[in-house]
């Protein structure tokens, strides 16, 4: 069987989903019999070397760089998978969408984070504004708000067992619904 080529990225996420993927431990060796990893923080490849079969997306879109990367993954991957709650629903970053008291919610959010929030020590009252920083979006968008998503792997993060089951399904072309016991978190 020809190996599937996989790419992964972390957008507005915490890298916890990637950490959970590494929790596959020795099963990674088994996985690598069937896949090659292309662009990914796991390989430190910053760009695609060729078209990929599967793209795994952690995190939603909080800045313009996230949007560009997500669109690039859509263009370069046959199947695109939203991994974890941040990619599927926005996760913790989407909480800033609830800040809407003023005419400029983004400014209000930054003021809270850098100046007026409890336990903030910022004597210069400066808010980071280096032009090299990616432009923050007015709100956080989920992956499906920006591009077509083919599958979702739920969890915060999805457990290694969920990854194992889902990746095997994707690799062998029989991605079935995940068992309730695997995605039940209460
Ligand atoms: Fe981190 Fe959870 Fe978001 Fe994954 S879903 S990036 S673990 S906060």
Kindly tell me if the per-residue pLDDT of 130 is higher than 90.
Answer: yes
Kindly tell me if the per-residue pLDDT of 133 is higher than 80.
Answer: yes
Kindly tell me if the per-residue pLDDT of 20 is higher than 90.
Answer: yes
Q: Which of 10, 12, 59, 185 to mutate to test the pocket of ligand 1 (most atoms within 8 A of CB)?
A: 59
Which comes out higher in pLDDT, residue 157 or 177? 157
How much is the mean pLDDT over the chain?
Answer: 94
Q: Which residues line ligand 1 (CB under 6 A)?
A: 13-14, 16-17, 58-59, 84-86, 91-92, 156-157
Q: Of 35, 47, 37, which is closest to residue 4 (Cα–Cα)?
A: 35
Provide the pLDDT confidence category of residue 183 given band limits of 50, 70 and 90. confident
| Ligand 1 atom closest to 20 (CA) | 7
Kindly tell me if the per-residue pLDDT of 101 is higher than 90.
Answer: no
**182 to each of 15, 50, 97, 130, how far by Cα in Å?**
21, 33, 30, 43
Provide the pLDDT confidence category of residue 176 given band limits of 50, 70 and 90. confident
Kindly tell me if the per-residue pLDDT of 102 is higher than 80.
Answer: no
**Percent of the chain whose pLDDT exceeds 90:** 81
| Ligand 1 atom closest to 59 (CA) | 6
Q: Closest Cα to atom 6, ligand 1: which residue?
A: 13
Cα 31 to averaged position of ligand 1 atoms, centre (Å) = 22
Q: 0.75 exceeded by the pTM?
A: yes
- pLDDT digit string (tens) for 23-73? 999 999 999 999 999 999 999 999 999 999 999 999 999 999 999 999 999
| Ligand 1 atom closest to 91 (CA) | 3
Mean pLDDT for the stretch of residues 76-105:
92
pLDDT on residue 29: 97
**3-state secondary structure at position 53:** strand
Mean pLDDT for the stretch of residues 170-185:
81
| Ligand 1 atom closest to 92 (CA) | 8
DSSP assignments along 78-138, one per residue:
EEEEEEHHHHHH-TGGGGGGG--SSS-HHHHHHHIIIIISTT---TT------TTSPPEEE
Q: What is the DSSP letter of 183?
A: S
Which comes out higher in pLDDT, residue 38 or 181? 38
pLDDT on residue 39: 98
């Amino acid at each position: 069987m020809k190996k599937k080529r996989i790419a992964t990225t972390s957008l507005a996420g915490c890298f916890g989903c990637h950490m959970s993927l590494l929790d596959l431990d020795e099963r990674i060796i088994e996985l690598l019999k069937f896949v090659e990893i292309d662009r990914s923080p796991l390989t430190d490849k910053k760009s695609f070397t060729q078209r990929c079969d599967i793209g795994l997306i952690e995190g939603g879109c909080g800045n313009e760089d996230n949007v560009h990367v997500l669109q690039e993954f859509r263009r370069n991957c046959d199947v695109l998978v939203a991994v974890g709650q941040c990619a599927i629903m926005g996760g913790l970053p989407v909480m800033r969408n609830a800040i809407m008291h003023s005419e400029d919610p983004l400014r209000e959010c930054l003021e809270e984070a850098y100046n007026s929030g409890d336990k903030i020590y910022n004597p210069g009252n400066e808010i980071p504004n280096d032009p090299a920083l990616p432009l923050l979006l007015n709100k956080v968008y989920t992956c499906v708000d920006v591009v077509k998503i083919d599958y979702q792997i739920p969890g915060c993060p999805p457990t290694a067992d969920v990854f194992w089951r889902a990746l095997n399904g994707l690799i062998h072309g029989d991605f079935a619904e995940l068992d309730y016991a695997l995605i039940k978190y209460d």
